[in-house]
Chain A
Amino acid sequence: MNHEEAATLLAAYALDALPDDEVAALEEHLARCPSCRSEVDGHRRTAALLGDVGAPAPEGLWDRIAADIAGGARPVSAPDLPPVATRRLVAVPALDEVPQAAPARPARWPLTGALAAAAAAVVLAAVLLTQVLNVDSQVQHLRSALRSTGLATAIVAADNGPHRTIELTSATTSGRHTVVRVLESSDGTAYWVWSSMAKLPVGRTYQIWGLSHGKIVSLGLAGNDPHAYSVFRVEPGITELMVTAEPAGGTPVPTGPVLAAGTL
């Protein structure tokens, strides 16, 4: 199909009005024609304006969806083995694993020399200034919580049993303030649920570190948008959490200043 023939079909295609026997040929053209793809996208946005008719969603529908995704429809169980394509967190080896056995992208390194001293100083300051709040309070179950409050905290907690809030703080001219909140459930799953930190430019990421017996361990990447949720694991033995800004993809050791720190 040449470009001129394809062009006459783009709007019909965007409206799902192309007969089945013409779809394959057009899609073949679309795969190699950015300008036609762009026109289809434009038609679809316009169609969405027509189609945004709205209606109250039926009662009980979310419950069915929640049951669906919690059951066999979920390809892998979270948070243990999420697909690489949709997950940015770094795998965390067990803490008693020997360094030589670390994966290609190592997740922990012995701290030495000046770096250790600097990190220890930061951690000590954080230990003194960080609050740990125990919030093993009763919370509503996920679905009812969603309907009534929309609070992520309550919901994350509800789905993960007893948990605590870890506040990561940062020093500013006006004192120390909480800049990141993490919920840690009793099984070690931790959720980055709130942050007041700024979004980083593309190509940068927030990286989460843990301190375990004098070693700094990479716990994962939170991406460049700190307002998105992240999940990572806090293995036994980790006593402090820290956050730095690093190049996208993360670094083996912290290269930037500690932006937030908190004790467990």
Chain B
Amino acid sequence: MSDVPTDLAETSDASLVIAVGRWQEVALAELYRRHAGAVYGLARRLLRDERLAEEVTQEVFVRLWQAPDRFDPARGSLRSYLLSVTHGRAVDLLRSESSRRAREDRAAATAEASYDLEHEMMDLLTAERVREAVASLPHAEQEVIELAYFGGHTYREVARITNTPEGTTKTRIRSGMRRLQAALDGIEVEAR
């Protein structure tokens, strides 16, 4: 069997998603091998709870199995899509009643947390560019994006935490994200 050049590792994400659409479990398994670490890492970072992060990871891949057509390659890489789904699900959990207390306790710490992406990301060069792009943002924009994205806070909550009007907060989130996008133009998370 070893002479059969059927190595899933050489198959593109998009092709594997099509195979998932045909109920090919092997294709899902290969996508898991490629992306589970990223999904789990983001979920754990947001939830700060390994058990919940595992649950989210499981949900994300089961959802990919059940509805692979929700991934549209024209809108971004599969990794982007999976991380977006992961983020949404993790934020749902963060906002659930049971974790409200914990979230409030976390607010102050989150506001001061710093990026330490470079030790964890696979692609060090990309990590460095992301870190530089984030560091180059005006501090107020950095803060609101971090509170919203990694803290899982709504913009209204971010406004309250930073003691800033809601309108200003919305503007800062958008201008910060646009600045990041311009600085990171041409990079996308692992697209195969």
Which A residues are closer than 8 A to B by beta carbons?
Answer: 7-12, 14-19, 41-58, 61-62, 64-66, 68-70, 73-75, 78-79, 82, 85-89, 135, 137, 139, 142-143, 146, 150-157, 159, 165, 181, 191, 193-194, 223, 225, 227-231
Q: Inside 8 A of A42's CB, which chain B residues have their CB?
A: 181
Q: Inside 8 A of A150's CB, which chain B residues have their CB?
A: 7-9, 30, 33
Cβ-closest 9 pairs across A and B: A78-B23, A55-B41, A86-B21, A57-B36, A17-B148, A11-B174, A228-B15, A229-B19, A48-B80
Q: Inside 8 A of A159's CB, which chain B residues have their CB?
A: 25-26
Docked pose: A159 CA to B12 CA in angstroms: 22
Q: Are the CB atoms of A58 and B50 closer together than 8 Å? A: yes
Q: B75: which of A15, A41, A66, A89 is its contact (CB, 8 Å)?
A: A41
Q: Are the CB atoms of B148 and A50 closer together than 8 Å? A: no
Known: A12-B148, A229-B27. A44 touches B84 (CB 8 A): yes
Is B1 at the interface (CB under 8 A from chain A)?
yes
Q: How far is the CB of B51 from chain A (nearest CB, A)?
A: 9
Docked pose: A68 CA to B149 CA in angstroms: 29
Q: Inside 8 A of A227's CB, which chain B residues have their CB?
A: 10-12, 15
Q: B148: which of A15, A52, A61, A65 is its contact (CB, 8 Å)?
A: A15
Q: How far is the CB of B177 from chain A (nearest CB, A)?
A: 4
Q: Which of B41-83 contact A (CB under 8 A)?
A: 41-42, 44-45, 50, 54, 57-58, 61-62, 65-66, 68-69, 75-77, 79-80, 83
Which B residues are closer than 8 A to A by beta carbons?
Answer: 1-2, 4-12, 14-16, 18-19, 21-30, 32-33, 36-42, 44-45, 50, 54, 57-58, 61-62, 65-66, 68-69, 75-77, 79-80, 83-84, 86-88, 91, 117, 120-122, 126, 130, 134, 145, 148-150, 152-156, 158, 167, 170-171, 173-174, 176-178, 180-181, 184, 187-190
Q: Are the CB atoms of A156 and B26 closer together than 8 Å? A: yes
Docked pose: A78 CA to B36 CA in angstroms: 24
Known: A48-B76, A231-B22. A61 touches B84 (CB 8 A): no
Q: Are the CB atoms of B33 and A54 closer together than 8 Å? A: no
Q: How far is the CB of B7 from chain A (nearest CB, A)?
A: 6
Q: Are the CB atoms of A49 and B184 closer together than 8 Å? A: yes
Q: How far is the CB of B88 from chain A (nearest CB, A)?
A: 5
Q: B149: which of A47, A156, A228 is its contact (CB, 8 Å)?
A: A47
Q: A12: which of B26, B58, B88, B173 is its contact (CB, 8 Å)?
A: B173
Q: Are the CB atoms of A62 and B36 closer together than 8 Å? A: yes
Q: Inside 8 A of A18's CB, which chain B residues have their CB?
A: 154-155
Q: Inside 8 A of A223's CB, which chain B residues have their CB?
A: 18
Docked pose: A12 CA to B77 CA in angstroms: 21
Q: Are the CB atoms of A51 and B7 closer together than 8 Å? A: no
Of A11, A78, A143, most B-chain CB atoms within 10 Å: A11
Q: Inside 8 A of A66's CB, which chain B residues have their CB?
A: 25, 29
Q: Enumerate 9 A-B pairs (CB-CB under 8 Å) in ascending A order.
A: A19-B155, A46-B181, A47-B84, A65-B28, A78-B23, A86-B21, A139-B1, A151-B6, A231-B24
Docked pose: A218 CA to B161 CA in angstroms: 64
